[in-house]
Amino acid sequence: MKNTSISLPGIPALPGSPTRDFYVSEETASHAPGGSPLGHYHKEAECLYVLEGNLSFQVNESRMVLHEGDVLIVLPGILHHDLIHEEGARLIRILMDPALLTREADIRRRFIHPFFDNTERDCFLLPASHALSAPVRALVLEIEKEETSADPLKGLRIAASLHLLLYHLCQAFPPEETKKPLPSREDREIQKRMIHYINENFGEKITLDAIAAAGQVSKSKCSSLFKTYIGLSPIDYVNEYRLGVSKSLLEKEDTAISDIAYTCGFTSQSYFTKLFRQSFHMTPREYRAAARKI
Task: Tell whether 11 is covered by a domain.
Answer: no
- Here the CATH number for the domain that contains residue 236 is 1.10.10.60
Residues 217 and 207: beta-carbon distance below 8 Å: no
User: Are residues 30 and 155 part of one domain?
Assistant: yes
Give CB contacts under 8 A, 24+ apart, made by 280-283. 280/243, 280/247
Sheet holding 22-28, edge to edge: 22-28, 90-96, 45-52, 71-74, 123-126
CB atoms < 10 A from the CB of 119, how many? Answer: 9
User: Are residues 201 and 151 part of one domain?
Assistant: no
CB atoms < 10 A from the CB of 19, how many? Answer: 9
Strands (E), 116-223: 123-126
User: Are residues 135 and 61 part of one domain?
Assistant: yes
Distance CA 127, CA 67 (A): 8
Give residue-wise pLDDT tens across range 188-230: 999 999 999 999 999 999 999 999 999 999 999 999 999 888 8
Task: Tell whether 12 is covered by a domain.
Answer: no
- Here the CATH number for the domain that contains residue 28 is 2.60.120.280
User: Are residues 195 and 171 part of one domain?
Assistant: no
Label residue 231 by pLDDT band (50, 70, 90): confident
Task: Tell whether 229 is covered by a domain.
Answer: yes
Task: Tell whether 84 is covered by a domain.
Answer: yes
| Amino acid of residue 100 | L
Q: At what angle do helices 284-291 and 234-252 cross, to 10 degrees?
A: 50
User: Are residues 116 and 26 part of one domain?
Assistant: yes
Q: What is the 3-state secondary structure (H, E, C) of 100-129?
A: HCCCCHHHHHHHHHHHHCCCCCCEEEECCC
User: Are residues 28 and 146 part of one domain?
Assistant: yes
Residues 52 and 68: beta-carbon distance below 8 Å: yes
User: Which domain-ending residue is among 143, 177, 211?
Assistant: 177
Task: Tell whether 195 is covered by a domain.
Answer: yes
User: Which domain-ending residue is among 142, 177, 212?
Assistant: 177
**pTM of the predicted protein model:** 0.75
User: Are residues 212 and 136 part of one domain?
Assistant: no
User: Are residues 204 and 227 part of one domain?
Assistant: yes
Label residue 5 by pLDDT band (50, 70, 90): very low
Asked whether residue 175 carries a pLDDT value surpassing 70, the answer given is no
Give residue-wise pLDDT tens across range 251-260: 888 899 999 9
Closest by CA position to 269, among listed 277, 286, 257: 257
Domain coverage including residue 52: 22-177
Label residue 52 by pLDDT band (50, 70, 90): very high
DSSP run (H or E) holding 139: helix 133-147
Q: How confident is the model over 118-126, as a mean pLDDT?
A: 89
Task: Tell whether 8 is covered by a domain.
Answer: no
Distance CA 108, CA 210 (A): 41
User: Which domain-ending residue is among 177, 200, 222?
Assistant: 177
Closest by CA position to 185, among listed 136, 126, 249, 121: 121
In this prediction, residue 87 carries a pLDDT of 76
User: Are residues 198 and 243 part of one domain?
Assistant: yes
User: Are residues 194 and 229 part of one domain?
Assistant: yes
Q: How confident is the model over 280-286, as a mean pLDDT?
A: 92
Collect all residues with Cβ–Cβ distance below 8 Å to 204 and sequence separation of at least 6: 265
In this prediction, residue 148 carries a pLDDT of 87
Task: Tell whether 161 is covered by a domain.
Answer: yes
In this prediction, residue 37 carries a pLDDT of 66
User: Are residues 245 and 101 part of one domain?
Assistant: no
Task: Tell whether 9 is covered by a domain.
Answer: no
Domain total in the chain:
2
User: Are residues 26 and 172 part of one domain?
Assistant: yes
